[in-house]
A = this chain, B = another copy of it.
């Protein structure tokens, strides 16, 4: 038998109808023990596996969900992926992971279910999507957004309170006597993304402490990778007097910055403090270890999967809801802990 056996082959082998085989596969209760055994044996003998395409075509469901993230080599997303898989496992869902590269077209594809057609829903961590992209969204595909928020009401959303998190991190630095805190990866204008929200929290903390805000301490970066953090430090140091702290908007930036500082002969926390966001594994083992804002990744994953599963099950047109997940500041060596 060259071709993959179908339910029909199994039926023939077992001497029953295809539908009975289907009933056995789906644990339908009214099947005699004898028949059930015969079918099981036939399945075993032929090495039959249910064909998901056929099943989906008929049922309209696959039991699979897609997790679409910008880049897997950003540790935060990789770690998140693990938690999402764990959360999905508990609900009998299988997760397929998709990289968008932060490219708008690919994110759109995920949002519209083009790539994700055979999954029942999508958990998407958008980077490049614009508000208008949500207007034309195909609302038949359940979507949960992570991190970046979106125009109200267009899709469920899960994330931490970015403003508060940045405020707390900044307060920590201020409490340590730091006054010239650079925001690596910060943004003052443009899309109201994570970067702007965090920068906002930073500004709030400064204001509350009556520390003047210096716009030139907001250092933009190309991307959120190690080398961008290193480059940013180069730029900052070149520009004039060194700041006394770096609030880096993710851990990769912070770790890249630590390296560049090291090369420049500056040490954290002696010469200046460094704080990151995400609490990735690398920050626990770096030298110095990295102070960071740790989002409750398991909580994010749980909430996202749970919201998505609800949408899928109820095909509900309920209004989109937002979930704020806990975070906490983990103080380590890079800011004196």
Contacts and interface: CB of A to CB of B under 8 A. Distances in A.
B53 A118 contact: yes
A281 B49 contact: no
A329 B54 CA distance: 49
Contacts of A82: 71-73, 99
A276 interface: no
B118 A99 contact: no
Contacts of A226: 281-282, 284-285
A49 B285 contact: no
Interface in A257-280: 258-259, 262
A230 interface: yes
B57 A54 contact: yes
A56 interface: yes
Nearest to A259: B285
A112 B49 contact: yes
Contact of A255 (B47, B49, B285): B285
A115 interface: yes
Interface of A: 2-4, 47, 49, 51-54, 56-57, 62, 71-73, 75, 78-79, 81-82, 85, 94-99, 101, 112-115, 117-118, 138, 140, 225-227, 230, 255-256, 258-259, 262, 281-282, 284-287, 289
B53 A57 contact: yes
Contact of A286 (B2, B97, B259, B281): B259
24 contacts: A4-B138, A47-B138, A49-B138, A51-B57, A52-B53, A53-B57, A53-B118, A72-B72, A73-B79, A73-B82, A75-B78, A78-B78, A96-B96, A118-B118, A226-B284, A226-B285, A255-B285, A259-B285, A259-B286, A259-B287, A259-B289, A282-B282, A286-B286, A287-B287
B140 A281 contact: no
A4 B57 CA distance: 13
B230 A256 contact: no
A79 B57 CA distance: 35
Given A49-B114, A259-B285, A287-B259, A81 B72 contact: yes
B94 A97 contact: no
Contacts of A81: 72-73, 99
A98 B95 CA distance: 7
Contacts of A262: 287
Contacts of A255: 282, 285
A73 B281 CA distance: 9
Contacts of A286: 259, 286-287
A77 to B, nearest CB: 8
B73 A117 contact: no
B282 A49 contact: no
Nearest to A94: B115
